């Protein structure tokens, strides 16, 4: 039975089955990677293009509204777009463990609290930190928390780029945007994540490599410099259109 979208009780926290993805879970058709890898990859690329299109709207709203536009609902929408048709749990924080090769994400019971702290840190430092510091923090911290079941990297890169654009005052131009440049130049990205992880384990909030990395990629985008990898096949650049 489909929910009545005019029933406003469905949109309120903590029930909020629509905002928390329960309606999406009941109606989404999804594909497993093992079923058809070619189709799965094609869906991922289409999702990425849709996520960037959504991000254009978010940037325009963010330039107008400022700090209050960066919240969990914004992050949920980015994730839902990134994993549509490949995950049934898009657009909500995870409620189960996930396993990575080089990082142990926090227990899922901590995710909501950690994301509240994360968003608060961004909002409280909106006028204090530079755009590259804010963007670097967003990129590292979301990867560290890994708040979603699927699409954490794609969502973190989109949120990072959102910060850069909003603080810049709009879309900066350039044919290859920062999230795509990160995908093309992963080695320094992973090195920067590792440096920030080690600092955090020592009780320090420091991510200088990530700041330098993001600053360089943003400058290269604005100057429209071809990524050092040289291979730009398959790059999705809808925001440059």
Give Cα 165 to chain centroid, integer Å. Answer: 14
Residue at 123 is within a domain:
yes
**81 Cβ contact list (under 8 Å, min separation 6):** 47, 50, 51, 54, 90
Residue at 6 is within a domain:
no
pLDDT of residue 200: 97
**Burial state string for 25-56 with b = 16 or more CB within 10 A and e = fewer than 16:** beebeeeeeeeeeeeeeebbeebbebbbebbe
Residue 214: CB atoms within 10 Å: 30
Q: What are phi and psi of 99, to 5 degrees?
A: -125, 130
- pLDDT exceeds cutoff 50 at 218: yes
Residue at 90 is within a domain:
yes
DSSP class of 107: P
Residue at 18 is within a domain:
no
- pLDDT exceeds cutoff 70 at 229: no
Counted domains in the chain? 1
Residue at 38 is within a domain:
yes
Closest C-alpha to 189, from 209, 163, 216, 165: 209
Question: In this predicted model, what pLDDT tens digit does every residue of 74-94 receive, in sequence order?
Answer: 999 999 999 999 988 899 999
Instruction: Find the CATH number of the domain harbouring 228.
Output: 1.10.3290.10
pLDDT of residue 230: 52
| pTM for this prediction | 0.83
Residue with tokens 């890169």: 157
Question: In this predicted model, what pLDDT tens digit does every residue of 36-71 receive, in sequence order?
Answer: 989 999 999 999 999 999 999 999 999 999 999 999
Residue 64 CA: distances (Å) to CA of 6, 22, 50, 167, 169: 28, 31, 22, 11, 9
Residue numbers of the domain that contains 172? 31-240
Residue at 11 is within a domain:
no
Residue 28's pLDDT band, with cuts at 50, 70 and 90, is low
Among 4-8, 18-22, 143-147, 191-195, the range scoring the smallest mean pLDDT is 18-22
Residue at 79 is within a domain:
yes
- pLDDT exceeds cutoff 90 at 35: no
């Amino acid at each position: 039975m489909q929910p009545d979208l005019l029933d406003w009780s469905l949109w309120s926290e903590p029930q909020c089955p629509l905002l928390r993805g329960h309606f999406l879970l009941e109606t989404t058709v999804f594909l497993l990677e093992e079923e058809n890898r070619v189709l799965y990859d094609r869906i991922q690329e289409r999702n990425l293009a849709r996520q960037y299109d959504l991000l254009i709207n978010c940037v325009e709203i963010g330039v107008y509204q400022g700090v209050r536009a960066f919240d969990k609902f914004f992050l949920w929408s980015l994730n839902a777009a990134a994993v549509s048709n490949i995950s049934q749990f898009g657009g909500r924080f995870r409620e189960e463990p996930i396993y990575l090769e080089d990082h142990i994400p926090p227990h899922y019971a901590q995710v909501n609290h950690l994301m509240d702290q994360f968003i608060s840190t961004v909002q409280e430092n909106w006028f204090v930190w530079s755009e590259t510091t804010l963007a670097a923090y967003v990129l590292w911290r979301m990867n560290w928390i890994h708040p979603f079941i699927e699409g954490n990297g794609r969502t973190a890169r989109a949120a990072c780029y959102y910060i850069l654009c909003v603080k810049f005052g709009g879309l900066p131009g350039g044919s290859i945007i920062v999230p795509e440049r990160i995908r093309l130049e992963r080695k320094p990205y992973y090195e920067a994540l590792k440096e920030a992880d080690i600092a955090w384990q020592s009780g320090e909030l420091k991510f200088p490599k990530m700041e330098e990395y993001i600053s360089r990629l943003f400058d290269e985008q604005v100057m429209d410099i071809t990524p050092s990898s040289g291979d730009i096949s398959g790059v999705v650049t809808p925001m440059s259109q």
